[in-house]
Amino acid sequence: MEIEKYQIAAHNQQQGNEQKHRFGFAASEHPQIENIIDQLIKFQIGIPSWALGTGGTRFGRFSGGGEPRSLEEKIEDIGLLHQLNQCSGAVSLHIPWDTTQDYEAIKKLAKHHGLRFDAMNSNTFQDQPNQAYSYKFGSLQHTNKAVRKQAIEHNIEVIRQGVALGSEALTVWLADGSCFPGQLNFRKAFQNTLESLEEIYAALPAQWKIFVEYKAFEPNFYSTTVGDWGQSLLYANKLGPKAYTLVDLGHHLPNANIEQIVSLLLMEGKLGGFHFNDSKYGDDDLTAGSMKPYQLFLIFNELVEGMDAKGIDHATGLGWMIDASHNVKDPLEDLLQSVEAIMLAYAQALLVDRKALVIAQQENDVARCQEVLQQAFRTDVRAIVQEARIRSGGAAKPIQLYRELKVRENLIAERGMKTIAIGL
Ligand code: PSV
Ligand code: MN
């Protein structure tokens, strides 16, 4: 299914003058509004290919039907999102789940939907059928060189597939670690992982980056070999200039100050990319901004400040991707909500009065610092984000139009009720 331009135009027409009034008010309040709109229009969020189906837990999975059955259908779904909001213009693939035989056809299809390929993800956390060695006790860290070699080769194969599709980054997330004290020699595990990553790094084409994603725990519950940003940064520094840290918002121990992590990684020139999601307890993979919208804003506040300080382009400087799972919502509606929350946080961060904040910080005027930040956070920027979306050809109210056009019902009619998207 595809949404036609005239359907979006008719929907936008129907919204009447409400948006004009709301945006007019925002414009009168913020003289820099056109600049903010330009930045919002350029900002694109990568959609993970593995988040288009219903997620589940180890206790069960309740599919809503119409899930994409192939890579082509996953791209079609992301195309629908992008038609609706015009800011989901990238896709992040996971190999081998998304391996294709026809790269040219996939590239053409993505182009048709206005999508580019963001970071490719390797998978050495699951065993694949016909695989010679098991990853039960790790992959790049494994005590057996042959297992490490197999995992290295898989990552190099992912780079090869990414090159064929026009991607320019590889994200490595390792489940490697240990479940019990004494199981692992930490230093040996680190060294093995580093040596393996060095071999993968050596296979990166000139323009490519490698993102080392960290995670505190799960599936291993005693130690994780890339367990936090410090360990990821160690690897990235040792590997070289093409290596960066990737921050997944759900991968920290409770109450970690993620905005401070982001700020320091940017300072070190080592922040490469993001996996957006939200959480209450652990790696819950919930809709971005659904639990802690203030935290999301504070992260964007550091991003904007830190990127501007370094002259990094907001839209292209980092890999902006979602990594979420949807147990009870329609995956496409959930992704629309995540993208919207990210855009709102970005817009609010662009509104922060930086000069006033610098002065207040310099003067140790703590109350004023909070006032400056919360002035931006408490601003209703929905009309600004909506205006940017409408100007770039998207729908004023993406979820409303999605429902009016009965997109899910159409997908179920096309694909059936019992389809299962390949992924987790
Ligand atoms: C691991 O929890 C993770 O965040 C990594 O990014 C994986 O690639 C992704 O989820 C899907 O399993
Ligand atoms: Mn992730």
What pLDDT score was predicted for residue 423? 72
Yes or no: say if 115 and 78 are a contact pair by the CB < 8 Å rule. Answer: yes
Question: What ligand 1 atom has the least distance to the C-alpha of 125?
Answer: 12
295 phi and psi, to 5 degrees? Answer: -60, -40
Work out how many domains the chain is built from and give that number.
Answer: 1
Residue 424 lies in a domain: no
DSSP 363: T
* Domain presence at residue 422: no
Residue 68 lies in a domain: yes
Ligand 1 contact, 220 CB (< 6 A): no
Is the CB of 118 within 6 Å of ligand 1? Answer: no
Cα dihedral 314→315→317→318 (10° resolution): 100
Name the strands in the sheet holding 116-117, side by side, starting at the edge strand that comes first in the sequence.
116-117, 90-92, 46-48, 319-322, 271-276, 243-248, 209-213, 169-173, 120-121
Report yes or no on 420 lying in a domain: no
Using CA atoms, how far apart are residues 147 and 141, in angstroms rounded to an integer? 9
Among the listed residues 213, 225, 232, the one whose alpha carbon sits nearest the alpha carbon of residue 277: 213
**286 phi, psi to nearest 5 deg:** -85, 170
Q: Is 421 among the domain residues?
A: no
- List the domain range (segments joined by +) for residue 144: 5-415
- CA 286 to ligand 2 center in whole angstroms: 12
* Interatomic CA distance for residues 347 and 296, integer angstroms: 11
Q: What is the pLDDT of residue 421?
A: 76
190 lines ligand 1 (CB under 6 A): no
Cross-strand pairs, 275:
248, 321
Atom index in ligand 1 nearest the CA of residue 218 equals 2
Per-block mean pLDDT, blocks of 10 residues, the chain (424 long): 96 90 94 97 98 91 92 98 98 98 98 98 97 98 98 98 98 98 98 99 98 98 98 98 98 98 98 98 97 98 98 98 96 98 98 98 98 98 97 98 98 90 72
CATH number of the domain bearing residue 85: 3.20.20.150
94 in any annotated domain = yes
The pair of structure tokens assigned to 160 is 């090869």
Q: How many angstroms does the Cα of residue 284 sit away from the middle of ligand 2?
A: 11
pLDDT at site 271? 98
- Other C-beta atoms within 10 Å of 312: how many? 16
Q: Which of 8, 1, 7, 2 is nearest to 391 (CA)?
A: 8
81 belongs to a structural domain: yes
In a domain, 9, yes or no: yes
- The residue whose two tokens read 């959930």 is 334
Residue with CA at minimum distance from ligand 1 atom 10: 323
Give CA–CA dist 173/196, Å, rounded: 13
> Is the CB of 211 within 6 Å of ligand 1?
no
By CB neighbour count within 10 A (0-12 exposed, 13-18 middle, 19+ buried), where does 293 fall? middle
Closest ligand (CA of 282)? 1
Residues contacting residue 229 through CB under 8 Å, at least 6 positions apart: 214, 245, 247, 261, 265
